[in-house]
Amino acid sequence: MCSLVFLCARKVVSDHSSIHKALDFIPKELYPVLFKAAFIDKKTLVLRDLVHRWPFTVLSFRKLLEDTNKHEFSTTAKEEPSKLCVQTVILGVIANLNEGLALGDKEHNTRRHQLRLLDMTGLQDGGINDDPQTMSLWSRTVTLAKACIEVSKRQCEEAKRAWKRRKGMGSTLVAANAPDDQLYVEVRVDLFVNSTSYGVLREALQVSTSSPLRLKCRDFRAEELSIRSTVGLLELLDSASVRQVDLRFNNLGLSGLNMLLPYMAKFPSLLSLKLPYNNIDVRRLSVEMEKGLQSFATEIGRLSSLKELNLGASRLSGRLRQLLGGLNNPLESLELAFCHLLPSDISYLSESIHVPSLKKLDLSGNNLSELLLHPFQRLISRVSASLLYLDIMECKLTDTHLEAILPSIYLCSKLRYLGIFCNPISCQGLKTFVLRSTPLHDLQLVIYPYPVDCYSESLPWPTSLCSFQDTCFIEEKMSQFTVDLHRIVEEAHRTDVVWTTDLYKHRTLEYLNL
């Protein structure tokens, strides 16, 4: 339910002409709620004015919009923000800086421009839905990079003009070009770069330290970049601000990652390292490659603040102890999807230092139906006290296997997310799970599979995600199952849980947001 203050704020921002005249007389305590209302209702002219007169040193998208979504607005906190509104705020900050550069710092300070930190971290990436009304992380990265370069060029132009004006007074060009520490806005941001945007981001990071618009990266993601390009960007990132590095689809291999990992040590606050789809294969290693594997494990062990590791789509059969054994501090998130794990790998995890602290575990794509079943049951029992997130998608689990592992899963009383999509489970198996899910009091989201008995007999087993997507199910059976499931959910008093087969509509929980 909307508060009275918020309802009033929406009414106020609906009339730009009136609020434009009144802003100088509005108490600064009302600016945040006006910003929320203007952002939600896409009142870009009002947003521009609010940014221009922002009376605080910090403007945090995440804090303002999360509070809005939680208390003031009938949507979820995961909604992607409007592209037009994000652009308006960025352009407003640029306009303020350009105005300050033109007026000179002394004059600029008299105009009450207080903003020093724009926090854009945590905004959802609209890239999945490809909605033109939202702004993807890649687009935000490019927009901010171009803005940084633009403001830096403007600073140089104004410095040259100032030097010409002072030329007869004995001032030097060096003095005129010295960065003005009094005129700046730091932008904390998550960055996503690929080969297309590499050039503009690299230039922006190079000028960022002296530009009035200073980029400070929190979470860095790079796709399809060469080793040289990746290293070039890592060297330019502010070492104190980075908490996550995500290098995926780069096909670097073990040797390439060994070249990059030493650069991770420059980030003392690095909590999360994601290296999926990088063509790591530890099977049938040569002597030289064995040394490379040991080097990889050593470098991972040097990351003393690491809490999350993602090695998805790597072939790690039988080598998990070697890879993780060098870590002196326990992980809280471990993603090993499609890693061809062996029973010895699961058994190692069950006895490792990570057991008491694991909050997120992703074992999707590993065959848990045969040799891994009992080690997996033991592992889940061991991590049950801390586990919040479990993904076992496409693990070849049938009704019998689900029945066997459910007692262990029910021990995970804090579990919020369970992914069992693309497993050959029947209608009855899923109904039974819903009826027995009451021990999982904190459960919020379950991604369940289309029941195997709703497909035609031509569906091959064991199957894969591609087979599921390419094969039509029998609509009458699926419709009846959906009706039955909704009834059972209500009877089991589990309407507080989202039950869905949609992998993309409901975003899964990220470890750093747990």
Average pLDDT of span 85-113: 79
Instruction: Give the pLDDT of residue 138.
Output: 95
Q: Is a pLDDT exceeding 90 seen at residue 175?
A: no
Mean of all residue pLDDT scores within the chain: 89
Instruction: Give the pLDDT of residue 78.
Output: 46
Give tens-digit pLDDT for 272-301: 999 999 999 998 888 888 999 999 999 999
Residue with tokens 């190079």: 206
Residue with tokens 């039988």: 318
| Farthest CA pair distance, the chain | 90
In angstroms, the Cα distances linking 16 to 39, 85, 369, 451 are 13, 15, 62, 53
Q: Taking the CB of residue 420, how many other CB atoms lie within 10 A of it?
A: 24
Q: How far apart are the first and last CA of the chain?
A: 25
Give tens-digit pLDDT for 292-340: 999 999 999 999 999 999 999 999 999 999 999 999 999 999 999 999 9
Instruction: Give the pLDDT of residue 387.
Output: 98
> How big is the chain, counted in residues?
514
Whether residue 43 is contained in a domain is answered as yes
Whether residue 55 is contained in a domain is answered as yes
Separation of alpha carbons 387 and 404, rounded Å: 19
Separation of alpha carbons 372 and 365, rounded Å: 12
Alpha-carbon dihedral angle through residues 17, 20, 21, 24, given to the nearest 10 degrees: 170
Q: Is a pLDDT exceeding 70 seen at residue 511?
A: yes
Average pLDDT of span 209-227: 95
Whether residue 86 is contained in a domain is answered as yes
Please report how many Cα atoms fall inside a 13 Å half-sphere around the Cα of residue 267, on the Cβ side: 29
Whether residue 88 is contained in a domain is answered as yes
Q: Is a pLDDT exceeding 50 seen at residue 76?
A: no
Alpha-carbon dihedral angle through residues 429, 434, 436, 441, given to the nearest 10 degrees: 150
Whether residue 128 is contained in a domain is answered as yes
Whether residue 415 is contained in a domain is answered as no
Separation of alpha carbons 33 and 53, rounded Å: 14
Whether residue 38 is contained in a domain is answered as yes
Task: Measure CA 301 to chain center.
Answer: 24
Give tens-digit pLDDT for 4-31: 899 999 999 999 999 999 998 999 999 9
Total domains in the chain come to 1
Instruction: Give the pLDDT of residue 198.
Output: 97
Separation of alpha carbons 423 and 393, rounded Å: 7
Q: What percent of the chain has pLDDT over 90?
A: 75
What is the reported pTM? 0.91
330-343 b/e with 16+ CB inside 10 Å = b?
bbbbbbbbbbbbbe
Expressed as residue numbers, the domain containing 84 is 4-139
Whether residue 11 is contained in a domain is answered as yes
**CA torsion sign, 344 to 347 to 349 to 353?**
negative
- Among residues 405, 407, 412, the alpha carbon closest in space to that of 355 is found at 412
